[in-house]
């Protein structure tokens, strides 16, 4: 059963970074986070925030637009940041090793629609929408399967609005 979507208004980049920080504390290898939204919606910003919060030594986090995948060794496990926008065919998903990474790594996947039937059933889906205010983003979180219920129990607008500016 799909959980009722959780909707959060992110009023600044800092809000988005805070949410990424919160989520990163609940991520472990085997988790897949699907990032949906138009170009400029904030998918890469969110993924980059998760990766940077999880690194002991800060590394550059380039967009995987051309490389399709960038991998990082972090405190919380290996992170795969994928951007499937330019992927030609579904076969390439297996060639990239992504289906294996879904089991063994934390996978943050932009433009996941091409995954089709390869989409992990227990993935967390985050949909970002731009708003009239250029600094605002409407975020919708969806998931199915019980593994996210407890982890996301504390995620709501009030908790985010109460986040200290340093993201802790």
SS3 43: helix
Among Mg ion, ligand ADP, none, residue 13 binds (CB under 5-8 Å by kind): ligand ADP
For ligand ADP, the closer CB: 99 or 138: 138
| Range in contact with ligand ADP (rule: CB under 6 A) among 8-16, 86-94, 142-150, 154-162 | 8-16
What is the sign of the dihedral through the CA atoms of 89, 78, 148 and 165?
Answer: negative
By CB neighbour count within 10 A (0-12 exposed, 13-18 middle, 19+ buried), where does 133 fall? exposed
Q: In the stretch 30-69, what mask flags binding to Mg ion with x, by CB under 5 A?
A: -------------xx-------------------------
Tell me which residues in 99-118 interact with ligand ADP (CB under 6 A).
110
Tokens of 126: 């985050």
Q: Please, what is the minimum distance in Å from the beta carbon of residue 37 to ligand ADP?
A: 5
Please give the full DSSP string across 61-90, using - where no structure is assigned: ----TTTSEEEEEETTEEEEEEE-TT---T
Q: In the stretch 100-129, what mask flags binding to Mg ion with x, by CB under 5 A?
A: ----------x-------------------
SS3 79: strand
The reply on whether position 81 binds ligand ADP by CB under 6 A is no
Q: In the stretch 19-58, what mask flags binding to ligand ADP with x, by CB under 6 A?
A: ------------------x-xxxxxxx-------------
Interhelix angle 13-24/43-54, rounded to 10 degrees, is 50
Q: Which residues pair with 139 in a beta bridge?
A: 8, 128
Torsion, Cα 30 9 13 156, to 10 degrees, reads -50
- Report the interface residues with Mg ion, using CB under 5 A: 43-44, 110
Q: By the criterion CB under 6 A, which residues form the site for ligand ADP?
A: 10, 12-13, 15-16, 37, 39-45, 110, 135, 137
């Amino acid at each position: 059963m799909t959980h009722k979507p959780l909707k959060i208004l992110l009023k600044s980049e800092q809000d988005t970074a805070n949410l990424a920080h919160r989520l990163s504390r609940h991520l472990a290898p085997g988790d897949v986070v699907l990032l949906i939204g138009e170009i400029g919606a904030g998918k890469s910003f969110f993924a980059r925030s998760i990766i940077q919060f999880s690194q002991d030594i800060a590394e550059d986090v380039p967009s995987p637009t051309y490389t399709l995948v960038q991998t990082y060794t972090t405190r919380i496990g290996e992170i795969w940041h994928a951007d499937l926008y330019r992927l030609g065919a579904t076969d390439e998903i297996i060639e990239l090793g992504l289906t294996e990474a879904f089991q063994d790594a934390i996978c943050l996947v932009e433009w996941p629609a091409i995954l089709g039937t390869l989409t992990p059933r227990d993935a967390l889906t985050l949909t970002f929408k731009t708003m009239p205010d250029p600094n605002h983003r409407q975020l919708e979180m969806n998931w199915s399967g019980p593994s996210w219920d407890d982890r996301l129990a504390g995620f709501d607008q009030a908790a985010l609005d109460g986040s200290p500016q340093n993201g802790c």
